[in-house]
Amino acid sequence: MRPTTAWQAMAQRPLSFLTSSWPWRSLAYLSGGVVVGAAAVLVLAAGLAAGLALLIVLIGVAPLVGTVLAATVVATVERRRLRLVDLDQLPDPHKAPDGPGLRAWVTTRLKEQVTWRELMFALLSAAALWWLDLLVLGFSFGVPALTFASLDSTTWPWAVFGGIVLLASPYTVTSWAGARAAMTRSFLAPRDRELGEELREVRASQSRLLDSFDAERVRIERDLHDGAQQRLVSLGMTLGLLRLETREGSPQTELLTRAESQLSTVHQELRSLIRGLNPPVLADHGLVAAIEDYAGRFPIPVTVDLRLPERLPRKLETTMYYLINEAMTNIARHSGATTAQVRGRYHSDLLILDITDDGHGGVAPEAGSGVTGLADRVTALDGRMRVSSPAGGPTLLHVEVPCRFA
């Protein structure tokens, strides 16, 4: 799967990473950060100085307000720059002004929490982030340049050190760019309450849809158990009675034997289907036991390492079971893997799940793979999913879902 963040790109094979555009994108991101940060220092410093100087006569309120609003410009630039190292678009959380004109726009912006969060980010960027960008760039390229410029017979060890630093610079620059991007997203990403009623309704609709699927699955399982399975049992009894009335060695005996064999096969397949729809081990013993049971019947060896403090809430437990089930089915059908692993932990109100395999990789959700369905399940739980699947493997499916025990 194509990486969408700088950190995902670094998880690729070294040659794939070094020959990709990600080191150059990260370099452009940090270089731009130095320029934007220096400009933010000048604008914020000038605005604060003018505002404080003129505050005595109340005229200074306007420069101070302008400084706050200038932070929104910095944030807008940062959201666009972020696409260099994080391909997931970061939407603008600002809402439309309450009315026409500049005054309505200013009033709306000053009332929004995101404006003040953007101001905090602009101050952080001006005070620290761009300095760190400059420090990383200086270490990665300035140190090698200085050691090469002063090269002579006595300083060659320093030149070797400079060469090592230069060779490592793609990873140094990209790792800091990934960390900076994650910090930027945490400040500038819209909060749920800022996205409005529409998004909340979408998420509520997803949750209702998930509940309806769960209820429909239980209904189908009950109908199969009480209807089709009972009819198969009745048909088996009828065939047994028919055998009692059939003379041994007659042509009908062989036909009855074949019919009973086929009926037994159908009965076993139906029981397997019913167990898959609503596995008793999941209802009786929880997610860990259910996944261990499923892994024991899997066609390739699977290592299960799920450590949970207690049983998950029913809705989450059921959804995660079918998510793991579907992911493992994809592994068996498409990956060519010889081994797989399911690892899960609970940490800070998050259920963290990693599913890995040693297959040939190259998972591409845009091509309509089963990963899309998995992502829909995770989104319905207000979680997030990342996939790392370079060509040649291995494949890692990382899932984080909010979880709070009652």
* Token code pair at residue 254: 């062989």
CB distance 277 to 298 below 8 Å: no
- What pLDDT, on a 0 to 100 scale, did the predictor assign at position 225? 56
Q: What are the DSSP E strand ranges found in 237-383?
A: 302-307, 340-347, 350-357
- What pLDDT, on a 0 to 100 scale, did the predictor assign at position 254? 72
> CA-to-CA distance for 162 and 176, rounded, in angstroms?
19
> CA-to-CA distance for 261 and 187, rounded, in angstroms?
65
Q: Is 396 helix (H, G, I), strand (E, B) or coil?
A: strand
Looking at every residue in the chain, the average pLDDT score rounds to 78
- What pLDDT, on a 0 to 100 scale, did the predictor assign at position 208? 59
Greater confidence, 269 or 277? 269
**CA 315 to chain CA mean position, Å:** 20
Greater confidence, 58 or 151? 151
Q: Which residue has the tokens 């009855």?
A: 256
Q: Is 151 helix (H, G, I), strand (E, B) or coil?
A: coil
Instruction: Reply yes or no on whether the pLDDT at 153 is more than 80.
Output: no
Q: What are the DSSP E strand ranges found in 197-269?
A: none
Mean pLDDT across 376-394: 81
Mean pLDDT across 367-379: 70
Worst-scoring range by mean pLDDT, 79-83, 206-210, 229-233, 325-329?
A: 206-210
- What pLDDT, on a 0 to 100 scale, did the predictor assign at position 331? 86
* Token code pair at residue 64: 């101070």
CB distance 194 to 108 below 8 Å: no
CB distance 10 to 23 below 8 Å: no
Worst-scoring range by mean pLDDT, 40-44, 78-82, 402-406?
A: 402-406
Q: What is the pTM of this model?
A: 0.51
φ, ψ (nearest 5 deg) of residue 195: -85, -10
Q: Nearest-5° angle of CA 388, CA 394, CA 396?
A: 40
Burial readout 74-85 (b: 16 or more C-beta within 10 A, e: otherwise)? bbeebbebbebb
Q: What is the amino acid identity at position 303? A: T
- What pLDDT, on a 0 to 100 scale, did the predictor assign at position 126? 85
- What pLDDT, on a 0 to 100 scale, did the predictor assign at position 228? 66
- What pLDDT, on a 0 to 100 scale, did the predictor assign at position 174? 92
> CA-to-CA distance for 201 and 203, rounded, in angstroms?
5
Candidate ranges 47-51, 80-84, 143-147, 348-352; pick with highest mean pLDDT:
80-84
The predicted-structure confidence for 233-276, as pLDDT tens digits, reads as follows 677 677 677 777 777 766 777 777 777 777 677 766 666 665 55
> CA-to-CA distance for 83 and 54, rounded, in angstroms?
39
Q: Report percent pLDDT > 70 for the chain.
A: 77
The predicted-structure confidence for 55-102, as pLDDT tens digits, reads as follows 666 565 677 777 778 888 888 889 899 999 988 877 777 777 777 877
Q: What is the DSSP letter of 250?
A: S
Instruction: Reply yes or no on whether the pLDDT at 288 is more than 60.
Output: yes
CB distance 10 to 25 below 8 Å: no
